[in-house]
Chain A
């Protein structure tokens, strides 16, 4: 997994301009696939396209050794502080599993 950094901003989505200095001189950094659950919700009322997999958790993962967080999906039970690992990226979604 990668994060993009400039002026202390670390994000999983590459920005066009740095919100601090305004340049596009944004650095790329490889990071661990591990993280911890910062928060989550179990979605019981999904939009039509996710109806078949509900209920499912949307998780906000605090990535390791960076300030960046990423939003992903995790099936099963989960709590804040759980250690998780990126399982795969599928249809544009980061799918996590508990370690």
Chain B
């Protein structure tokens, strides 16, 4: 089977780019990745994006990248999978390489959200739920799902709001060392615990922010020092009331299981991890689903410090969605950007000797999960 390698990565700073357009962010990250890869001939482009149509009145992102970067008349497409759009775009590129159709593919992700107000963004993001459902009519929001999950998690375990705060604090401390992260102001458990409530028990620091930004990757069948050892994607329940077990997000567990199987590896082999902490609660569920810690015990690992940069399973050394920021379509690719730096030994919060890295990108309330495992050769 054809193998896929990473040749170059690019990323804009995440944060507020009120002075820049969606297109300029997308082209900036793409240009960086192309130059890092040595300007190879590109055979196809996939762009991960969720809200450009509804919030920037802009589609045809694939064609814009090919045209404005002079890549020629090549196949391109935009890929949508809510917050997993970037991870799914990467997977589409990998499948294109594995099939033999393309030698080298540019995958980019972008989102621009900061120009809109919070109620409008909350409304737009609700498109990541099943809007033709009694749940939507009840007034459930996207963050609300994770609030419901958190209350039940507290009820069934010894976890408290303070454990959620520990996740948020860890990721903020990691972001302080990442110059591309959105939030670079130090905080404290007290400030996090006392922040205004968004959807109980989740407060402001438990929720990933609105962010502008872009990230891009060049992949190829031609060998490089970073091998994509596995790519997996699955769908899961699209409604909260459909979950067989509320405290499990089966898309995460199953995408992880498939990725481990393809890679011939297990959770014990992974040195550094970027997971989709759209909410502090989600990070705890994900470290359980991916097999790093036992079910309903992820909160204990957080308390012990196992997920900190010096811990036995460092999670979100980039700052995660919570503090690196979450420009929706770019998030899955920014995880890869950071992990490639980890494997090259050039990352903020560098994990000494990291050789195997795992990225997990979630869409909706568990509607999609993409997992990629990377290996330094």
Closest B-chain residue to A91, C-beta based?
B137
Q: In this assembly, does B126 line the interface, its C-beta being within 8 Å of a C-beta of chain A?
A: yes
B144 and A58: CB pair below 8 A?
yes
With contacts A41-B148, A41-B200 taken as known, whether A47 is within 8 angstroms of B138 at the C-beta atoms is no
Q: Is B199 an interface residue (CB 8 A)?
A: yes
Interface bits A29-69 vs B (CB < 8 Å: 1, else 0): 00000000011111111111111010010101000000011
Set of chain B residues within 8 Å of A11, measured between Cβ atoms: 241-242
By the criterion CB–CB under 8 Å, are B199 and A44 in contact?
A: yes
Q: Tell me if A43 and B199 are in contact (CB < 8 A).
A: yes
A86 to B359: give the CA distance in the assembly, Å.
42
Q: Please tell me if the beta carbons of B148 and A39 are within 8 angstroms of each other in the complex.
A: yes
Chain A minimum-CB-distance residue to B196: A44
A43 to B207, CA, bound (A): 13
- From A12, A39, A48, A68, give the contact of B149 (CB < 8 A): A39
- B240: chain A residues at CB < 8 Å are 60, 71
Interface string of B112-141 (1 = CB under 8 A from A): 000000111011001000000111011111
Residue of A whose beta carbon sits closest to that of B120: A48
Quick check: B151 and A80 within 8 Å, CB to CB? yes
Cβ distance B123 to chain A, nearest Cβ, rounded Å = 4
Complex Cα distance A14/B110, Å? 37
Count how many chain B residues have C-beta atoms less than 8 Å from C-beta atoms of the other chain.
35
Chain B residue, CB-CB nearest to A45: B198
Name the B residues within 8 Å of A73 (CB-CB): 138-139
**Set of chain A residues within 8 Å of B152, measured between Cβ atoms:** 38-39, 60, 80
The 8 Å CB contact of A46, one of B119, B196, B202, is B119
Residue ID in chain A nearest B136 by CB atoms: A92
Query: Is A94 engaged at the interface, CB distance under 8 Å to the other chain?
Result: yes
Residue from A12, A49, A70 in contact with B123 in the complex, judged by beta carbons closer than 8 Å:
A49
Determine the distance from Cα of A6 to Cα of B137 in the docked complex, in whole angstroms. 26
Task: List the interface of chain B (C-beta within 8 A of A).
Answer: 118-120, 122-123, 126, 133-135, 137-141, 143-144, 147-152, 155, 196-202, 239-242, 246
Jot down 17 A-B pairs with beta carbons below 8 A, ordered by A: A11-B241, A13-B239, A39-B155, A40-B151, A41-B144, A41-B200, A42-B147, A42-B199, A43-B147, A45-B143, A46-B119, A48-B119, A50-B139, A58-B135, A60-B152, A69-B241, A71-B138
Q: Which 6 A-B pairs have the closest CB atoms?
A: A41-B147, A92-B137, A39-B152, A93-B137, A71-B135, A42-B200
12 further A-B pairs in the complex, CB-CB below 8 A; given A46-B139, A47-B122, A80-B151: A41-B144, A43-B199, A44-B198, A46-B122, A48-B123, A58-B139, A58-B141, A60-B240, A70-B241, A71-B140, A71-B239, A94-B134
